[in-house]
Chains A and B, each alone.
Chain A
Amino acid sequence: DVQLVESGGGLVQPGGSLRLSCVSSGFTFRSFTLNWVRQAPGKGLEWVSYISRSGSPTYYADSVKGRFTISRDDAKNSLYLQMNSLRAEDTAVYYCARDAGYGGYPHSFDIWGQGTMVTVSS
């Protein structure tokens, strides 16, 4: 089965750090660009970050730029999101999502993980 499985979420105090992981299976991980997308409780979807197949370039939403870092380890079929200086407004379910790779239609997210919840609260 083609799948992505996130882990690493939890409760953290404002100003704290957390590292999310996303492990893939069932497809050639290194061949795909990947993203993190988040969803605050009861809210819509917000794209967070992108990483290319080679690991560079990377892109970030303005709301997380300078605080979050996306990375990948193709040997471990894994995607990561290092989150520092966390704020209450970062509270959300975080999904990793694969870009389908439709040449003419980039950023079509065809495979998503189940999500991991991050709660930032004192």
Chain B
Amino acid sequence: DIQMTQSPSSLSASVGDRVTITCRASQSISIYLNWYQQKPGKAPKLLIYGASNLQSGVPSRFSGSGSGTDFTLTISGLRPEDFATYFCQQTYRTPPVTFGGGTKVEIK
């Protein structure tokens, strides 16, 4: 199975900051990488698919990049509603689909 490693596991940031979250795959997954946002007690929400495609309705301050084994999710201008946990997901070699361990973005 392909292992997904996210870093950092948590971070503290202020409103307006630029935040970058990294996801690394244990082998090349081309661009088959998705990003999700999850708020406490809620279901995950798809933000980015195919490494860099913004899901419909997701604000443009969210962006994704990368290919192969290294990927990033960037939030340009953190807003109060962005404080949440973010997960990456590989869909290159399935089953199984596998997720990263998550990155919790907290208020500084």
Contact = CB atoms under 8 A, between A and B. Distances in A.
A104 B34 CA distance: 13
A35 B91 CA distance: 13
Nearest to A60: B95
Interface stretch (B16-24, B44-52, B59-67): B44-52
B46 A59 contact: no
Given A110-B55, A112-B44, A44 B96 contact: no
A35 B34 CA distance: 16
Nearest to A95: B43
Given A44-B102, A45-B99, A105 B91 contact: yes
Interface in B37-86: 38, 42-46, 49-50, 53, 55
Contacts of A45: 36, 38, 44, 87, 89, 99, 102
Interface in A93-122: 95, 100, 102, 104-110, 112-115
Given A44-B102, A112-B43, A115-B43, A106 B91 contact: yes
Given A61-B96, A100-B49, A102-B49, A108 B91 contact: yes
Contacts of A109: 34, 36, 44, 46, 89
For the complex, would chain B's binding face be called helix, strand, loop or mixed by DSSP majority?
Answer: loop
B104 to A, nearest CB: 11
Given A46-B99, A100-B49, A107 B91 contact: yes
Interface in A37-71: 37, 44-47, 50, 59-62
A18 B91 CA distance: 29
Contacts of B36: 45, 109
B99 A44 contact: yes
Nearest first, the 5 closest Cβ-Cβ pairs linking A and B are A112-B43, A107-B91, A108-B49, A59-B95, A47-B97
Interface of B: 32, 34, 36, 38, 42-46, 49-50, 53, 55, 87, 89, 91, 94-102
13 contacts: A35-B97, A44-B100, A45-B36, A45-B44, A45-B87, A47-B95, A50-B94, A104-B50, A105-B49, A108-B34, A110-B55, A112-B45, A115-B43
